Structure 1
C-alpha cells in the first residue's frame, strides 16, 4: 500500500520532466518576477497604491498562466484564449487602482496602466519571449521613471 501511495505522489509531481524543463520554468518565472520588481519599485517609490509586491505578483502570475499551457502541450490557438483571460482579469485589478476624486480628478490611472503592462511583460516571459519582455519592461520604465523626471 505505501509503495502505491508513494508512486501516486511521484506521478502527481512529475509535471517537470527533467533538468531542462526545470531550468526553462525557473528562468521564465524569474525573469517575470525580476521585471515586475523593476516596474513595481518605480511605482512604490512614488507612493502608488500598487507597488513592488503587487507588480511582482502580477508578472509572476501572468507568466505562470503561460507556462502551464506550454507544459500541458496546448496548441497556440488555445493559449490565445488563456491570454485573453489574463488580459481581462488584469483589467479588474487595474480598475481597483483607479479613484475618481470629489473634484472630478482621476488618480491611479498610471498605476493601472503599469499593472496592465506588467501583466503583458509576464505573459511574454512566460511564453519564452524573455528578450521581448526585457525590452518591453525597459520601455515601460522609461515611460514611468524617466518621463516623470523630465516632467519635473
Structure 2
C-alpha cells in the first residue's frame, strides 16, 4: 500500500511520459530563450531569464492541464475540467507581468514591445506544452523577424524622418 502511494507521488503523470514532458519543457525553454536573448542584447528590462521562465511556466501549465483531463477519477463524480480556462489564466497572468514592464513617463512610453514579447512567450510555452512545437517554432521565427528585422529596417527610416540621430552622427 505505501509503495503504491510513493509511486503515485513521484510519478503522477498518466497520459504522457516523462521524456515527452521533458522535451516539451526544453522546447519551451529554448524558444522562449531565443526571444529573451534578443530582448537581453538590446538591454530591455525583461530579458533572457524572464522570457525563458514565462515560456517554461506556460508549458508546465499546459502539461498539467492535459494530465488533469486524462485523470481517471471516481466514475460517480462529475469532473469539470476545461482546458480553455488554462489558456485564459496563462494569458491574463502573463499580461499582468507584461503590463509591469511598461513604463510611462509623460508622453514617453517604453516597454510595450517587451511586454508583447513576454505575452507571446506565454503562447509559445502553451504550444510547446500541448505538443505543437512546430507552431511554437513558427511563432518564434515570426517574433524574431518582427523584433530584429523590422527594427533594422524601420529605425534608420524613423531617424531620417524625425531628423534626430541618437548616435551623434549629425
Tell me, yes or no, whether TM beats 0.5.
yes
Aligned to 1:65: 61
Output the CA distance in 2 between the equivalents of 1:120 and 1:14. Answer: 27
For 2:128, the equivalent position in structure 1 comes to 125
Question: Are the equivalent residues in 1 in contact too, given 2:14–2:67 (CA < 8 A)?
Answer: no
Q: Does 1:54 align with 2:58?
A: no
Q: Distance in 2 between matches of 1:148 and 1:142?
A: 9
Distance 1:8 1:84 in 2: 33
- Stretches of structure 1 lacking an aligned partner (at least 5 in a row): none
- Number of equivalenced pairs: 146
Q: Give the number of the structure whose residues are more often helix, by fraction.
A: 1
CA contact (8 A) 2:36 2:46 kept: yes
Task: Give, in angstroms, the shift of residue 11 of structure 1.
Answer: 2.0
Distance, in Å, in 1 between the alignment partners of 2:12 and 2:148 is 40
- TM-superposed CA distance for 1:90, in Å, is 0.8
Aligned equivalent of 2:87, options 74, 83, 87: 83
Aligned counterpart, 1:14: 11
Q: What TM-score does the superposition give when structure 1 sets the normalisation length?
A: 0.89
The list of structure 1 runs, each at least 4 consecutive aligned residues, that deviate by more than 4 angstroms after superposition, is: none
Q: What is residue 99 of structure 2 aligned with on the other side? A: 95
- Pairing partner for 1:105 from 105, 108, 125: 108
Deviation of 1:7 after TM superposition, in Å, equals 4.2
CA RMSD, aligned part only? 1.9
| Structure 2 portions without partners, runs of 5+ | 71-78, 157-170
Hey, what does 1:135 align to over in structure 2? Answer: 138
